[in-house]
Amino acid sequence: MPAAAPSSDVLSGLGAAVLDALPLSLYVVDRRLRVIAWNASREQGPFGQPRGDVLGRPLRRVLTPAGYRATAPILEQVFRSGVMHEDTTETLRGRRLYRVRRIPVKQAGRVSHVLSWFEDVTEQRALEMSLIASDRLAFLGQLVAGVAHEISNPLASVAGCAEALASLALQAPDKKARQEAQEFSTLIREEVARCERIVRTLLASARSHPTHTSDVAQTVDTSMWLLARHPAFTRVRVVRRIPAGLPAVRLDPDSLKQVVLALAMNAARAMRGGGTLTVRAARDGPEVVLDVLDTGPGISASIRARIFEPFFTTDATQGTGLGLPIARSLVQGRGGDLVYKPRRRGAHFRVILKAAGEAA
């Protein structure tokens, strides 16, 4: 029976060829934490270094100081316990996420080496997060629909009381009391109508959307006319760049107006000291692209991933955290999408809408 190979030759020959053939980045260290194997994928991977520069060297001279401080205790734990350790790590370059397994290799009943195995799980994790977000939005849709239906009944009662108050006001002998009652009745009906519009918007975001189309230019103009009277727009200059001849889009006018209003209001609140809001549109093959840009401070990378998350808001005094999620739900329900596009200054949201008559 042949003698066991010395440590420096543990992964020579066929063993090294096998490791090079694996589509995984990996390396092996001995009990002194010296690198004795460094496969081809590792050379080209996120920490890529030629194996000739690392083989036989202490791991502390191969990894960054921070990387070594994080890695060495884990390797020493695996050597002591003989139990595999698994975690995830994110690279600084390329923002890739890796599942890392530290696997003990035993010889003569003791751990002689530890194999560090790196598997790229970036896309898998993104899919998992997408499914979680989808489930959360589905639950939110059911919740919103239930709440909206529950609100509809008392709203109808309040509206009926307002009508009764208006009728009684006509019978009041005192002219001032009659006038005040009529004013209160009108105010109540207006507030009820506003609440009913909110309920319709919530229901529209929670159910299948009707097959209606919109004229983009007309809907944007209506939205801008409404916003021009809002206090948040007193110091905002609006630039409209919408060419004539755009096809109708597969989204009903109320929903498209809701999307435009949500994006424009967010932009105005971001430009408290004033700025420019640009609304532009263009035909892009089977789609119409609507861009809403502002000259505010923009959205930091730290919160960018959460802007479409229900109830997430950075403005607790005015925001509800539902504007962007509902807007995106409305657009996606008709085969389009709402995305954020990073830029040097300000924020840029793009609404992608299917042109009427195009396949979803």
- E runs forming strands in the chain: 25-30, 35-38, 85-90, 97-107, 110-120, 236-241, 275-284, 287-294, 337-340, 348-354
> What confidence score (pLDDT) does residue 3 get?
37
Strand-pair partners of 294: 277
Q: Which helix (H) or strand (E) holds 177?
A: helix 175-206
* Residue 26 tokens, joined: 């990996």
Residue type present at position 144: V
What percentage of the chain exceeds 90 in pLDDT? 24
pLDDT at 6 over 70: no
* Residue 153 tokens, joined: 């009944």
Higher pLDDT, 184 or 32: 32
* Residue 86 tokens, joined: 């698994």
Cα gap 50→318, rounded to integer Å: 55
* Residue 119 tokens, joined: 């598997």
Query: What confidence tens digit (pLDDT) does each residue in 99-148 have?
Result: 888 999 998 889 999 998 888 877 777 766 666 665 666 666 667 666 77
Domains and their CATH numbers in the chain: 7-120 (3.30.450.20), 125-206 (1.10.287), 216-354 (3.30.565.10)
pLDDT at 316 over 60: no
Query: What confidence tens digit (pLDDT) does each residue in 232-270 have?
Result: 788 899 999 999 899 999 988 888 988 998 899 889 888
> What confidence score (pLDDT) does residue 30 get?
93
Lowest mean pLDDT among 11-15, 311-315, 335-339: 11-15
Strand-pair partners of 110: 107
- The DSSP secondary structure of 7-58, one letter per residue, reads GGGTT-THHHHHHHHSSSEEEEEETT-BEEEE-HHHHHSTT---GGGTTTSB
With 0-12 / 13-18 / 19 or more C-beta atoms within 10 angstroms meaning exposed / middle / buried, residue 222 is middle
Contacts of 55 (CB under 8 A, 6+ apart): 35, 36, 37, 38
CA proximity to 86, closest of 109, 103, 67: 103
Cα gap 242→245, rounded to integer Å: 9
Quote the DSSP letter at residue 295.
Answer: -
Q: What are phi and psi of 103, to 5 degrees?
A: -105, 125
* Integer angstrom CA distances of residue 343 from 56, 292, 299, 323, 352: 46, 12, 9, 21, 18
* Residue 299 tokens, joined: 């959205």
pLDDT at 10 over 60: no
